[in-house]
Structure 1
Amino acid sequence: MSAPSSETERTDQPAKSDGFIRGLAQAIGGPVGEHATSPAARRGRFWTAPRIIMALVCMTLAFSWVQKSPCQDGDWQKNIQYTRFCYTDVLALYYAEGLNEGKVPYVDHAVEYPVVTGYFMGALGLPVHALGVRYPEINQGKWFYNANALVLSVLAVASAAVLLALRRRRPWDAAIFALSPILLVTATVNWDFLAIGFAMFGLYAWARRWPILAGLLLGLGGAAKLWPLFILGPLFVLALRSRRVQAFLLALAGAIFAWAATNLPIAIFYRTSWNRFFELNDTRPVDWGTFWYIGRFLDAKWNSGAVGDQGPFQWLSDHIPTLNHLSYALTILACAAIGLLCLLAPRRPRLSQIAFLVVAVFLIFSKVWSQQYVLWLLPLIVLARPRWGAIIAWTVAEIGYFTAFYAELLGSGGKPVIPEGTFVLASTLRLVTVAVLVGLVVREIWRPELDIVRETYDEDPDGGTFNDSPDADWTIRLRRRLNIEKTPAPSFPPPLVEAEQH
């Protein structure tokens, strides 16, 4: 069989490759036929897969704006922000951070977020305040929320575009992101799409073999929310395996430069304000719905009859510095295990697989897991394991937690709305489904023949310069010594014969 003449001739059809979608497709007549997917049938068609995806993500974000609309005027009487599930930090913090009084972030008020998020808040908040001073009749909070919602939605659309660019042969993978209820309910809860946008463009820059630009973007993302910097870890381990350490060092230098350039002005001239983010993270107690929250609840149940007796999770909740150290230690150990998996896997893992695992284990062991943090995982799981079934199960658990969390907030000031055990159950299901996704990604790294992305791409579509190099000799010897690899590793790029077999 001759090699395909273009990428579009190898475009994945989910109704054929994904078991869950194939089962659903049977209800409407089965998968699309060969004639409908032929180049001749596609020629001249306006509604191509990428355009459909972009329309779907715009539709989801429009519904998200409608879903948050009851809260936009800031008149949160009778807990409307919880009963309508429309709470957003964006509006609440416009007042809490003094933006409505014209206070400059970090200069006049110690903002609780990293500096790029603070800069963004000021860039939109101060003009809105000035407009409100000139036109007192306008609702400043509403204008601020809508300005933020517009920019954050643009970043969400841009993230969908990056997913499409990274998976040109698998455009329907991006539909998982575009249609996600997670996107609908959390897109504008906070400013997380700032970091997500930088991280996604950083991954795209790496895939295009621009390591310095990739590092700059990841550094800017890390200056908005810390987690994009975690992607440097997977880049480092894959660089070791592929003998591309120089490219990693260029990315690392770019990340350090971007992070330092955005942080140093505040760290030098407004040190107390700059420290606020780090101090808050050090002193914050156990947050709603985390692994530690669940453990504390179980401790209380098991020790309910023992006077003065505490379980380990209860004790940790009263000793936050020790909890911090334990949380960091568990995360580091998990990341070390992921690094070892990356080096020992029979075939070099894909970058997005390792990135997803690192961010997921950080959330699993963190003492803080805010409702919008789920957005961090959404684009990464689309790139790492775009199978609808497990992602839908995880989404159901996340939406279940979302509703239980608001019910818990409603009852926090008085009569409980739901039993505490119900909220803990919802938290546990969320935690378990994330852990299941981690396990499924690990399985596909260890057994790459199960990886659906590799059925479409010979190499890692996110790998960039990693794809130009065979594995380092020492990693091959290590796997042979452990009887993981008894034959020479495949060369990169693959031979023409292998490409033709696809």
Structure 2
Amino acid sequence: MSTHPPEDIDRPDAPSAAATGDGFVRGLSEAIGGPLGSHAVQPEARRGRFWTAARIILALTCITLAFSWVQKSPCQTGDWQKNIQYTRFCYTDVLALYYAEGLNDGKVPYKDHQVEYPVVTGYFMGALGLPVHAYGVKHPAINQGQWFYNANALVLSALAVATAAVILALRRRRPWDAAIFALSPIIFFTATVNWDFLAIGLAAIGLYLWAKRRPVWAGVFLGLGAAAKLWPLFILGPILILALRSKTIQKWVWVALSTVLTWIVVNFPVWYLWHDSWLRFFRLNSERPIDWGTFWYVGRYLDGKWHNGAEGDQGPFQWLSNHVPTLNYVTYGLFGLACVGIAVLALAAPRRPRLAQLSFLVVAAFLIFSKVWSQQYVLWLLPLIVLARPRWGAIIAWTVAEFGYFTAFYAELLGAGGKAVIPEGTFVLAATLRIITVAVLCGLVIREIWRPELDVVRQTYADDPDGGPLNEPDADWVGKLRRSLGVGRKSKADAEAAPPAEPLPAEVTS
């Protein structure tokens, strides 16, 4: 039996084991004898092994996506009789919108039909849908909708695998963190409900390029992601605050300029040629009322219970429901206040927060206060929480709540046909639990920002593995600000958790 010298096992970039770094996994590992001993030969240390942690994670991601495809298979033909799309939990916008957006008739997105999505999503729909339609015209026997769905599922799955690969690349010392993403039931149920993985994959590549100190290219991919779904644009906010704290504002300028310019370039053709179609997305979002399962939906339900339907007597949530323009301003205002609070937290924290932590908080705040929270938006949070706080226990609790909402949502869709499946209060409870678990995750991330010694990622890395250009000493004014806020004096734990900055390994800086 061959052995390797100790330094080969204890090298700085040696991957950590999930059972030793996560209390929840450690508890589960007791069923098979407990975590690996500190002197045991790590599997990664055995040279020549094909099944490394990274390959296992990527394989698990592919398996989860394959099962997700099977789960959606009852709906792939488009023969949605007797509400099969709801009773089998297999509804997908991808198939429904192939017909609703006129792709089955060969209509060019934006030119021939006003698409309700940002332009990169519309381009993507046309790039796959129009060739499928053209082929279907020549071969009438094929099911165009099914071919379109499968083509989309293949590309979206590839983007999901790319996202898992980015998580692995950003956490080379903690590869098993990516298993939280790879094995998530969230992916199983929602991976191909809509085109969200298009934005997620592009944004993930942007974060990777930022960590590799490529701000211009990072901005290109963040701009493409924002042109697919708007939320990747929010990542610029955390980068700005951290750049201010670390005196790297020039890097933020480069990433912001490239993001905005990329967004403008990909939007310009549709804006110029078919302006009304380009405005469709923005008009729809300004006109949409309170959507199912949101904070505002729960509040409106409670208003109705409190006022018991009395004529002329309505609570604030019901009033906002009837005055959508005001509701828009309130949601924007609350999100803005949340961002201000996150910025203050980032500047007053004992150590510069990690980019993933702040990005998760900003995107979560947007969803909590938004008037629309579609079922697949949960995918936005999944890679961010894995990077921000890779602890299984709280994420599993959140996943259970999301699954509860998922099932209640489909029951509500069935009930919309006229026959109630579950009481309205049950659906509201499921929505409330989803909101609460996301808020709890935010609270846990905030606690680890304020007490960095609790952050398991910081226990592995000297600095933020996602920070890239941000990994510089604090500006002088940060200490003055903290003292003015009454938090300038570090505790002993803070001092121990904040060692002097040291060079990052080549895997992060190269």
Q: TM-score range, shorter-chain basis?
A: over 0.9
Match of residue 223 from structure 2? 219
Letter in 2 for 1:137: A
1:477 maps onto 2:460 in alignment: no
Q: Identify which range, 486-495 or 21-30, moves more after superposition.
A: 486-495
Match of residue 86 from structure 2? 82
Match of residue 11 from structure 2? 6
* Shift, 1:36, TM fit: 4.1
Q: 1:97 aligns with which of 95, 101, 124?
A: 101
Secondary structure of the equivalent of 1:24? helix
1:419 maps onto 2:423 in alignment: yes
1:493 maps onto 2:464 in alignment: no
Let me know the Cα RMSD of the aligned residues. 1.8
Distance 1:455 1:226 in 2: 33
Distance 2:503 2:184 in 1: 38
Distance 1:451 1:4 in 2: 24
Match of residue 270 from structure 1? 274
Q: Identify which range, 13-22 or 474-483, moves more after superposition.
A: 474-483
Secondary structure of the equivalent of 2:78? coil
Distance 1:30 1:274 in 2: 57
The 5 Å alignment of 1:129-278 reads 129-278=133-282
Distance 1:104 1:270 in 2: 11
Distance 2:43 2:298 in 1: 53
* Shift, 1:315, TM fit: 0.6
Letter in 2 for 1:482: L
Residues 367-387 of structure 1 show CA distances to partners (whole Å, capped at 9, x for unaligned) of 000000000000000000000
Letter in 1 for 2:502: P
Residues 211-240 of structure 1 show CA distances to partners (whole Å, capped at 9, x for unaligned) of 001111101000000000000000000000
Letter in 2 for 1:476: G
1:436 maps onto 2:444 in alignment: no
1:360 maps onto 2:364 in alignment: yes
Match of residue 507 from structure 2? none
* Shift, 1:41, TM fit: 5.1
Residues 39-72 of structure 1 show CA distances to partners (whole Å, capped at 9, x for unaligned) of 7852222211111101100000000000000000
* Shift, 1:480, TM fit: 2.2
Match of residue 447 from structure 1? 451
Secondary structure of the equivalent of 2:421? coil
Residues 134-164 of structure 1 show CA distances to partners (whole Å, capped at 9, x for unaligned) of 0001000000000000000000000000000
Distance 1:40 1:318 in 2: 59
Distance 1:207 1:428 in 2: 36
Distance 1:38 1:196 in 2: 32
Unpaired stretches in structure 1, ≥5 consecutive residues:
497-502
Match of residue 125 from structure 2? 121
Residues 466-485 of structure 1 show CA distances to partners (whole Å, capped at 9, x for unaligned) of 11x21011111111233322
* Shift, 1:495, TM fit: 8.4
Q: 1:340 aligns with which of 341, 344, 354?
A: 344
Letter in 1 for 2:310: A
For the 8 Å contact 1:219–1:254, the answer to whether it is kept is: yes
Distance 2:178 2:409 in 1: 28
What TM-score does the superposition give when structure 2 sets the normalisation length? 0.94
What TM-score does the superposition give when structure 1 sets the normalisation length? 0.96
* Shift, 1:111, TM fit: 0.2
Q: Which runs of 4+ in 1 moved over 4 A?
A: 1-5, 487-492
Letter in 2 for 1:120: F
Distance 2:264 2:339 in 1: 25
For the 8 Å contact 1:288–1:368, the answer to whether it is kept is: yes
Distance 1:322 1:282 in 2: 10
1:49 maps onto 2:59 in alignment: no
Distance 1:2 1:125 in 2: 54
Secondary structure of the equivalent of 1:454? coil
The 5 Å alignment of 1:62-73 reads 62-73=66-77
Paired-residue identity, %: 71
For the 8 Å contact 1:470–1:491, the answer to whether it is kept is: no
